[in-house]
Structure 1
Amino acid sequence: MNKVASPTSAGRWITGRVTRESARVRLIGLPQAGGGAGAFRSWRRHLPEWLELAPVELPGRGTREAEPLPERFEDLIEALLAGTRAERDMPYALFGHSFGGVLAYELALRAETAPLCLIVSASRAPHLPAERRMSAAAEPELLRWLTETGGLPPELLEFPDFLRQLLPPIRRDMAFAEDYLVAEPTPVACPLYAFAGADDRVVTAEQVAGWSGCTTAAFRRTVFPGGHSFPSTGPAALVAAVADAVGATR
């Protein structure tokens, strides 16, 4: 039987954990720019019994809305590494979508124990520069771009007060993602699976393929139907692919 933990019992960094008595692997999920643990809500009913889902809630959004946004990317990574240390007390895997892919990669490199695998989704390889910078765009331009690329449901445009709360973490995360660039990636010591959207206008399938040089173990790229938000538009297929990737390492 699945049990969704409350934000209080789940802890500060994990919200909406799906716990299972038979779980043998924990999947730590890292959301897209501006996103929170709620990005993984649609996954719950598709998870296999052996896989526990631990969605990360980053500062400045969701249940942590009152907390300040990290000023530097390094500050965020160090806090994330310490804040999720207890989650790595059993075999675990990392999944990150878009900006979450960068966070997952850095966690895989820095964690005391390596994950079973790293899964990056709609995230450009770390040695490829951003082709377009939108984090500092004027609000109308940014909102138009977000809605056109699937980063923001169009119906939210009718709630300007809510948008004012959403945009600061979106801009901060986007700036971190746009600035993230390494001359030569350090390979992770685990299998790496890269997911791409066939019609993604933010991160192309070719940019995702660049992750092939970022592991000393197996690499596989999978292209899904849809744009940048393909994990939320096709959660059943996405979770099945995640379970297949993690299951191959057990």
Structure 2
Amino acid sequence: MTLNRRKVLFLLGATGSAVALETCRSLVWTDVAAAQTSTSGKITLPPLPYDYKALEPHIDARTMRFHHDNHHATYVKNLNAALAKYPNLQSKSVEQLLREIQSVPEDIRTTVRNNGGGHENHSMFWRIMKPKGGGEPTGAIASAIKADFGSFATFKQQFNEAGSKRFGSGWVWLIRNPAGKLQITSTPNQDSPLMEGNYPIMGNDVWEHAYYLKYQNRRAEYLTAWWNVINWDEVNRRLAQATKA
């Protein structure tokens, strides 16, 4: 689907409201999420599916702008620069490159690992959050969490503990392992669970740039607040996708 200028003007003109603007954002995001490469074969930066301030008070607008427009954009730039050396790799998705990281030419392998991981991780991160999110999980993810962790409260506690214990920069994940079980794990830097044959269902960024402007060194406070913006619909979609894969 192409969102052209006429459609945008129609949506904005018909209502003149923020609802239309958010509809436009959603449509644009759907298109970009479906294909994160341009016609030139380059990886593109997906726009946020909501306004910078939409996740306040839990995540502030300044952090979101800096995190998305600077950090994620830099990963995309560096990844494209690396792949430009090997045009044959540009036909592969970033997920494929990460799953086959040992097959990536050695001279760009670390760059692809760091920046491809950064791009893939953040592309997921923006989608699994939403305004007025949070609450108890529903649907298949709720059943799976109960089956593998006993309760949502237990899962939440273990997830936060793993995020708190990750030394330095990295991520805390809920992954689906090759045996089909849900598991909590963490990775350093921008490493992706895909590189270990696992599928990331959801993950929280515990790099300082994800929270320091608002929470300073209070990572545990950030981890607790983050549950208020979880998009369980997207998490359920990712679980279904993992199950099919």
TM superposition score category, shorter chain reference: under 0.3
Normalising by structure 1, report the TM-score: 0.26
Which structure shows the higher helix fraction?
2
Higher-Rg structure is: 2
Q: Specify which structure has the higher proportion of strand.
A: 1
Q: What TM-score do the two structures reach when normalised by structure 2?
A: 0.27
